A and B are shown apart, each in its own frame.
Chain A
């Protein structure tokens, strides 16, 4: 498997957030979620099945996602995931947390230390 320079490992817990963001757009099955994340990250993130499905199942058991079996575009039955009310609330708080965290981390990384400059 080739490994490109612009692909990197996701920090712990980030995958859940990305999955919920993608699912928030509408009912979607696992394969499409992986594709969508890849597209949206401009190919920088490639989600492995080995992490995707355990994460999906964990979110479902935590009642953040719900699922339904429906025919897909190809006509085959696929398991479609949807955000629950709880999931939507969770996505909102986690997105806020994430934004705040990256802002703060960015501030520190970009800023100059007073007294040195």
Chain B
């Protein structure tokens, strides 16, 4: 019979063992009776010779080798019985652990899903990216101050490809995604996310298609028939998984594309992004879509990331040096980089190879610091929870000391006692772990919604993976052993004699020292969490209540697409006016305006400003200004005043003299605060430096980054085209800037269901114009603070949790010590101590621990808050008010938690106290 068989045949083996030993006994008795001993005497003698039948059996059982398992089984049953006997205690422990573990696991789920996960592709460890920065989305000059390049033009990408056979495949992917209006047959037009990729994209990742075929290098050649590959989720969502789509012709804007395949389910592209691409298009189709404005054909327009599959055993350092050489050599051939002193900068330019198993690390870089801080803080919560549980167990084991002493007196070994106590906490930690997983599941869903509120089909799921499950399980077991170890050891040291001695009668007990240390530890850790919560909350408040310079109340933002339905530039002014008229006629509408980009939408473009009569700026001069094209009443619609000169008028839209208005930051930066009215400047080339005349100055408002300072900005009027350009690409860019796709609708009162209103109004003008997005302006601004909100809300939750746990811990320890010292208190009161003296006696030790906790906690909090310094907005990481406030909050909670049991202890009747055992 095998070992396992013996374990399961337990019952039968027991009966047989009993029968066998009994047979021996009876035979021995019978032999004695046979030689003349009386039956009773024979039994007595045999029993003596046997020396304990149970001992014999026990020795036989041991030989089965299943004893330890049976002991564990017994311990489990025993522990469960004991835990059922103490439901409040058990629930407290499970709940505390579940919250602590849940918080930790929820954060870890996100850390794993966002930071640790590899792309779902073949052998992701061999993927490398040329570049380690996150420049986006179009660049036409030097990229960083230290010369680190990561965004490349198509021309440069091809040079890299030719120079690096070390890459099995090297693919190019569009840095920023785009969207096009897609039509299929008679179905309504929809706006889908797109990404241009090189023809070897799917080969590089080793990914095939779910249906049809992937893109091939043949698709990515000039003049090839335009094709796309759909993502699986877009195929399901937008086309209901209709198999007829594969091979069908879609119209992207006005251009016909054939769907050649659908990517496999789960493949979300080359990076984790809030808006993953719905379709991949070959680079060669970019000129088809963009015409003369195409980036592909511009040798110096950088808009691609390069990611490739490395051959085995490649020396990365050597390859990096080689590619940097290719970069510098390529730059030397372009006047963009050599002109105006740029040549001196070229030797510093280089690329850095970075591992790309997780894809392009954009979201990871944006959220990494915050997530790591949150993981750290949630671990602190878990530690506090552990300390609490250790305290509860300690108190419990103290209460059971008499019982344990009796068991030791009866012969239980120290090991057995420890084993049983550990089993109890192990069971608690497993239950806590399971409940904690539930907390984590809902927690991480809530956190995802907080972190990426506007995302669509983001490939980050809150479902726990095996790694997460293993993490949670491991952590719960580890904490179980951690928090049970101390109490188990302490109580197993009980002397059996103590039981007889009436050890409950005491004024001091050394065993409570671990409890007090745990309390100090809890206060210190809570301090860390509360300070972080204070700082993050204050930072979010500062962000949300800052002066952005724009009014957003009762305003809605609308994004439409005019390229899609095929509006040519000459028809634009007409359609703008028509849309404007329709919306203005709506009841309650105060203002309707158009813009190419909206403030705080997180998207803007810019140019190098060339002032009339000034030499061209060198490579190190900051000549960059954002610019935007807007309709006449745009500034009015977002509540921005014109400070000097004039705003735009209807005449500007069609007049031939190009005019611009600029913000205060522009005046300060380019004119050192001197009068800018009437001055002229241009972009692209010095020969156009007289193109625009400044006619007004408007108040600063934040355009792109709500965390940063206001940058220079100039506005050009809707419809006004500069006719001086002669190069086709410059002309094309000028024309494409005429397409204003954003609208601001200002109502005079709060609105219901604006989206429906917008869609029906636009449909009245032209049903072919797709409405891409309708969003209230405050919601769009709030989207700027997702990370800050996540950090603030979670640190608040952690802080409250920590406060709660620490208070419960303190309360427990004080009330426990009050019970232990009941008779002492009785004696003191009998000798004349007043109630207030008793209260202060009880509080004294609590405050010693509180202050000891602060002594450790304040420096620890300083350390922790410094980690999040650069995530804070307009508040210093050592803000005194945050620290004073935290101490105050913690102090009040500690005082309440300590006062209640202290008062109760003082209210005891001295006679009764003296009688307590």
Contact = CB atoms under 8 A, between A and B. Distances in A.
Interface of A: 1, 29-31, 34, 48-50, 53-54, 57-58, 61, 69, 72, 74, 76-79
B144 to A, nearest CB: 73
A32 to B, nearest CB: 8
A30 B21 CA distance: 9
Nearest to A46: B49
A49 B24 contact: yes
B515 to A, nearest CB: 46
Q: Which of A29, A48, A57 has the most CB of B within 10 A?
A: A57
A78 B26 CA distance: 11
Contacts of A74: 27, 30
Interface in B10-57: 16, 19-21, 23-24, 26-28, 30, 48-52, 55-56
5 contacts: A30-B20, A31-B23, A31-B27, A49-B49, A50-B51
Contacts of B55: 50
Given A49-B21, A53-B20, A53-B56, A76 B26 contact: yes
B16 A79 contact: yes
A54 B20 contact: no
A57 B60 contact: yes
B510 interface: no
Contact of A54 (B16, B60, B65): B60
Given A50-B59, A61-B65, A74-B30, A1 B48 contact: yes
Contacts of B1: 61
Given A1-B48, A61-B64, A61-B65, A76 B59 contact: no
Nearest to B30: A74
Contact of A58 (B48, B49, B63): B63
Contacts of B48: 1
A51 B482 CA distance: 41
Interface residues of B, number: 25
B651 interface: no
A48 B50 CA distance: 8
A117 B707 CA distance: 105
Interface of B: 1, 6, 16, 19-21, 23-24, 26-28, 30, 48-52, 55-56, 59-60, 62-65
Contacts of A53: 20-21, 24, 56, 59-60
Given A49-B21, A79-B16, A79-B20, A54 B63 contact: yes
Contacts of A31: 23-24, 27-28
Contacts of B50: 49-50
Nearest to B20: A79
B19 A77 contact: yes
Contacts of A30: 20, 23-24
A34 B26 CA distance: 14
A76 to B, nearest CB: 6
A79 B13 CA distance: 12
A99 B20 CA distance: 33
* Residue from the set A1, A49, A50, A78 with the largest chain B CB neighbour count within 10 Å: A49
A79 B27 CA distance: 13
Nearest to B22: A76
Contacts of B19: 77, 79
A45 B21 CA distance: 20
A66 to B, nearest CB: 11
Pick from B51, B63, B64 the residue with the most CB of A within 10 Å: B63
A82 to B, nearest CB: 15
B2 to A, nearest CB: 10
A105 to B, nearest CB: 30
B63 A61 contact: yes
Nearest to B53: A49
A31 to B, nearest CB: 4
Contacts of A61: 1, 6, 63-65
B55 to A, nearest CB: 6
A51 to B, nearest CB: 8
Nearest to B65: A61
A84 B763 CA distance: 93
B62 to A, nearest CB: 7
A45 B60 CA distance: 21
A2 to B, nearest CB: 11
A14 to B, nearest CB: 18
A77 B1 CA distance: 21
Q: Which of B26, B27, B50, B55 has the most CB of A within 10 A?
A: B27
